[in-house]
């Protein structure tokens, strides 16, 4: 009796398709659906060869691509005129001309 139930449950499991995350395995488990042999191999081959470079990139080409002027850091200089003497100074910095003369501390 137990053997009959075991055999019937195994038959039911084999007859019902077991869905999986892989579509090819899923189609193989469906009864009456068969993949053509040649098409499956071509799809696999195309997926493997798309990521491969056709030829080696030379050092000069790589340098040209990586050292593009648009990728370089821009020179940002924040120059202002000094309020006391009129010389150029960086923003948020002391003017060296006035600082050496001592005008910042006396004014």
- Tally of structural domains, the chain: 2
Element (H, E) at 89: strand 88-90
Residue ranges making up the domain that contains 45: 18-53
User: Could you give the CA distance from residue 99 to residue 82 in angstroms, rounded to a whole number?
Assistant: 11
Residue 104 lies in a domain: yes
Strand partners, 88: 81
Question: Is the C-alpha dihedral spanning 95, 99, 100, 106 positive or negative?
Answer: positive
pTM of the model: 0.28
pLDDT tens per residue, range 5-57: 878 877 777 675 555 555 555 555 556 655 555 555 555 565 556 778 889 99
Strand partners, 89: 80
Residue 4 lies in a domain: no
Residue 107 lies in a domain: yes
Residue 69 lies in a domain: no
Residue 106 lies in a domain: yes
């Amino acid at each position: 009796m137990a053997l009959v139930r075991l055999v019937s449950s195994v038959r039911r499991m084999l007859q019902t398709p077991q869905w999986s995350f892989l579509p090819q395995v899923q189609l193989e488990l469906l009864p009456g659906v068969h993949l053509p042999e040649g098409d499956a191999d071509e799809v696999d081959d195309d997926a493997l060869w798309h990521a491969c470079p056709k030829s080696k990139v030379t050092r000069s080409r790589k340098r040209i691509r990586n050292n593009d002027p648009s990728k370089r850091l821009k020179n940002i200089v924040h120059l202002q005129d000094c309020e006391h003497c009129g010389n150029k100074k960086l923003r948020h910095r002391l003017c060296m001309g006035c600082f050496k003369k001592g005008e910042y501390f006396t004014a």
